[in-house]
Structure 1
Amino acid sequence: MVQSLNLAAVRTTARVILREPALALPHQRVRDISELDFAELREAGCHGVIFDKDNTLTAPYSDEVHPRLAGSLRRCVETFGAERVAVLSNSAGTPDDPGGVAADALEAALGVHVLRRRHKKPRGIESVQRHFQCDGTALLMVGDRYLTDVVFGNMHGMLTVHTQQLTTEGDNRVAQAMRRAEDWLVARYVRRGVRAPPHPLALNSWGPGGARGRS
């Protein structure tokens, strides 16, 4: 699927760089979703989970959950219920997906809802509100990109988790270059002492900024 230019992400990137660097900092960084304790998050008051797709749940341009994450996604669904777990992709379910064909295929493969919306991250909060019917502070946003996934979650008051890239296989060069730039930018902010916005659901075990020593 060919993705259109995301002008909202360009504008938001300028906002982060010039005025609000904390928006790019996640509350936690993990290797992948297998490191998340969904039962603990549910007990802490989290009401639902939003996942990015590519390099968070699946390999780029694949509909199937990455083999090492299948059990973790299943545990998430068992903990929250399928209606409280959703995918927010910047391809499937957007105007780049006419008729929602890709979103339908992804739902069938993953067994969770794919949010349909008119705008890409970091816009698109309306689809989240319609689906979950709760305030953003009760939701967890999980993704591998700082300037789309993490910024989207932080802009709308969510708990944010950044995951490492699952694989470089099949990923396009533009995405790879953007990821390297984001990693450099966030590492610079961390060295300056910038932290994620405070959040009531951040677990004590995560420590300051949720860093766990990863860049």
Structure 2
Amino acid sequence: MVQSFNLQGILQSFRVMVSPRLMVPHIVVRDIRDINFEQLHKAGIVAIAFDKDNCLTRPYGHDLHPPFKDAWKRCRDVYKDQVAIVSNSAGTPDDKDDQLAKALESSLQVHVLRHKEKKPSGGQELLKHFDGIKAAKVAFVGDRALTDVVFGSNEGMLTILTKDVVTEEGDNPMAIRVGVISFDGDYGNG
């Protein structure tokens, strides 16, 4: 599966030029293993959503990256049915008959948002899914500042950037080039 052209992503990049803070995550972690889900929940984050490619799975895959198994279980134990996946591949018009979304739901046991607008646009669709939960009580986790962090920032969600990707093998070449932003330093556990 290959992602189609993301016009909204290009248009949003102009918005980021005016407000670069939209790309600055609230929390930076190595990967989802470094997220303290219990602490987030205690702090008032009652729902959480994830990008899929290179955050949970290999690009265009549907199986959880094996080292993330324990962290994913902790996340699901804490957030139960308030976990979702928002992908620019699965659940979009590029996903013929929602095949990838259905495979992900079966594999990861969480809802994959069906949405028309690709990140960084479309945050209202996620908030509608979380029915009545205010954006400030939602965390969005992803590996790309220009799509994932901006997606969450546009709506006022807590944003968590994962620095390490699963693999660039098979990823969209443009996403690799545009998505590389370095956040170095010791950020501790979320």
**Contact 2:59-2:171 within 8 A present in 1 as well:** yes
Letter of the 1:100 partner, please give it: D
**Distance (whole Å) between structure 1 residues aligned to residue 11 and residue 172 of structure 2:** 22
Could you tell me which residue of structure 1 aligns to residue 57 of structure 2? Answer: 58
Residues 27 and 211 from structure 1, CA distance in 2 versus in 1: closer, same or farther, beyond 3 angstroms? farther
**Distance (whole Å) between structure 2 residues aligned to residue 62 and residue 76 of structure 1:** 20
Letter of the 2:173 partner, please give it: R
Could you tell me which residue of structure 1 aligns to residue 178 of structure 2? Answer: 178
In the alignment, structure 1 segments of 5+ residues that lack a partner are 191-209
TM-score normalised by structure 2 residue count:
0.92
**Contact 1:27-1:211 within 8 A present in 2 as well:** no
Q: How far is the alpha carbon of 1:211 from its aligned partner?
A: 6.6
- Secondary structure of the 2:54 match is coil
Letter of the 2:161 partner, please give it: H
**Distance (whole Å) between structure 1 residues aligned to residue 3 and residue 173 of structure 2:** 13
1:103-146 Cα shifts (integer Å, max 9, x gaps): 10110011110000111111222321222111111000000000
In the alignment, structure 2 segments of 5+ residues that lack a partner are none
1:57-97 Cα shifts (integer Å, max 9, x gaps): 0111211000111110110000011x100000001101111
**Contact 2:123-2:154 within 8 A present in 1 as well:** no
**Distance (whole Å) between structure 2 residues aligned to residue 173 and residue 211 of structure 1:** 29
2:104 to 99, 102, 106: 106
**Distance (whole Å) between structure 1 residues aligned to residue 60 and residue 99 of structure 2:** 14
Report % sequence identity.
45
Residues 10 and 211 from structure 1, CA distance in 2 versus in 1: closer, same or farther, beyond 3 angstroms? farther
**Distance (whole Å) between structure 2 residues aligned to residue 89 and residue 162 of structure 1:** 15
CA RMSD of aligned residues (A): 1.8
Residues 12 and 172 from structure 1, CA distance in 2 versus in 1: closer, same or farther, beyond 3 angstroms? closer
Could you tell me which residue of structure 1 aligns to residue 124 of structure 2? Answer: 126
Could you tell me which residue of structure 1 aligns to residue 79 of structure 2? Answer: 80
Could you tell me which residue of structure 1 aligns to residue 70 of structure 2? Answer: 71
Structure with the bigger percentage of helix = 1
* Residue 147 (str. 1) matches residue 146 (str. 2): yes
TM-score normalised by structure 1 residue count:
0.82
Q: Which has the larger radius of gyration?
A: 1
Could you tell me which residue of structure 2 aligns to residue 2 of structure 1? Answer: 2
* Residue 212 (str. 1) matches residue 182 (str. 2): no
Could you tell me which residue of structure 2 aligns to residue 95 of structure 1? Answer: 93
**Contact 2:124-2:155 within 8 A present in 1 as well:** no
**Distance (whole Å) between structure 1 residues aligned to residue 46 and residue 73 of structure 2:** 16
